[in-house]
Amino acid sequence: MTDLERAWAGVDDDPDLERDLGYRPFDVEVVVAEQYGQLLFLPSDDDILEEDSFVVADESLVVDLADWR
Protein backbone atom coordinates (compact mmCIF):
# COMPACT_ATOMS: atom_id res chain seq x y z
CA MET A 1 0.00 0.00 0.00
CA THR A 2 1.36 3.43 -0.94
CA ASP A 3 1.57 6.41 1.42
CA LEU A 4 -1.34 8.03 -0.44
CA GLU A 5 -3.48 4.90 -0.09
CA ARG A 6 -2.68 4.74 3.64
CA ALA A 7 -3.60 8.41 4.02
CA TRP A 8 -6.95 7.86 2.28
CA ALA A 9 -7.63 4.74 4.37
CA GLY A 10 -7.16 6.80 7.53
CA VAL A 11 -9.66 9.52 6.60
CA ASP A 12 -13.02 9.52 8.38
CA ASP A 13 -16.09 8.64 6.30
CA ASP A 14 -17.61 11.97 7.35
CA PRO A 15 -14.64 14.34 7.81
CA ASP A 16 -14.98 17.69 9.54
CA LEU A 17 -14.75 20.29 6.77
CA GLU A 18 -12.68 22.78 8.72
CA ARG A 19 -10.53 20.57 10.95
CA ASP A 20 -9.85 17.66 8.57
CA LEU A 21 -10.00 19.30 5.14
CA GLY A 22 -9.03 22.91 5.82
CA TYR A 23 -12.25 24.32 4.34
CA ARG A 24 -13.92 27.40 5.79
CA PRO A 25 -17.63 26.80 5.16
CA PHE A 26 -19.71 29.85 4.25
CA ASP A 27 -23.22 30.54 3.03
CA VAL A 28 -23.76 30.86 -0.69
CA GLU A 29 -26.38 32.53 -2.81
CA VAL A 30 -27.56 30.66 -5.90
CA VAL A 31 -28.45 32.70 -8.97
CA VAL A 32 -30.26 30.88 -11.78
CA ALA A 33 -29.32 31.85 -15.34
CA GLU A 34 -32.37 30.23 -16.90
CA GLN A 35 -31.63 31.07 -20.53
CA TYR A 36 -28.28 29.23 -20.23
CA GLY A 37 -29.40 26.43 -17.88
CA GLN A 38 -26.64 27.36 -15.46
CA LEU A 39 -26.38 28.16 -11.78
CA LEU A 40 -24.06 30.80 -10.34
CA PHE A 41 -22.90 30.23 -6.75
CA LEU A 42 -21.73 33.38 -4.95
CA PRO A 43 -20.68 33.98 -1.33
CA SER A 44 -23.61 35.51 0.57
CA ASP A 45 -21.24 37.81 2.46
CA ASP A 46 -20.05 40.60 0.15
CA ASP A 47 -16.95 41.04 2.33
CA ILE A 48 -15.52 37.72 1.11
CA LEU A 49 -16.56 38.17 -2.51
CA GLU A 50 -13.50 38.34 -4.73
CA GLU A 51 -12.95 38.33 -8.48
CA ASP A 52 -12.59 34.54 -8.56
CA SER A 53 -14.83 33.53 -5.64
CA PHE A 54 -17.74 32.07 -7.56
CA VAL A 55 -18.72 28.86 -9.31
CA VAL A 56 -20.71 28.51 -12.53
CA ALA A 57 -22.21 25.06 -13.07
CA ASP A 58 -24.53 23.47 -15.58
CA GLU A 59 -27.83 23.00 -13.76
CA SER A 60 -28.07 19.33 -14.81
CA LEU A 61 -24.76 18.57 -13.04
CA VAL A 62 -25.70 20.01 -9.63
CA VAL A 63 -27.05 17.48 -7.12
CA ASP A 64 -28.05 17.64 -3.47
CA LEU A 65 -25.37 15.75 -1.54
CA ALA A 66 -27.99 14.48 0.91
CA ASP A 67 -29.43 12.44 -1.99
CA TRP A 68 -26.06 10.67 -2.45
CA ARG A 69 -25.58 9.41 1.14
pTM, two decimal places? 0.58
Domain encompassing residue 40: 25-60
> For the chain, what is the domain count?
1
pLDDT tens digit string along 7-52?
888 888 888 888 888 888 888 899 998 888 899 999 898 888 887 7
Which pLDDT value is given to residue 45? 87
Domain-embedded: residue 66: no
Query: Mind giving me the DSSP string for the chain?
Result: --HHHHHHHTS-SS--TTTTT------EEEEEETTTTEEEEEESSGGG--TT--EEEEGGG---GGGG-
Which pLDDT value is given to residue 30? 92
Domain-embedded: residue 65: no
Q: In what order do the strands lie in the sheet with 55-58?
A: 28-33, 38-43, 55-58
Written as one letter, the residue type at 42 is L
Domain-embedded: residue 44: yes
Which pLDDT value is given to residue 11? 81
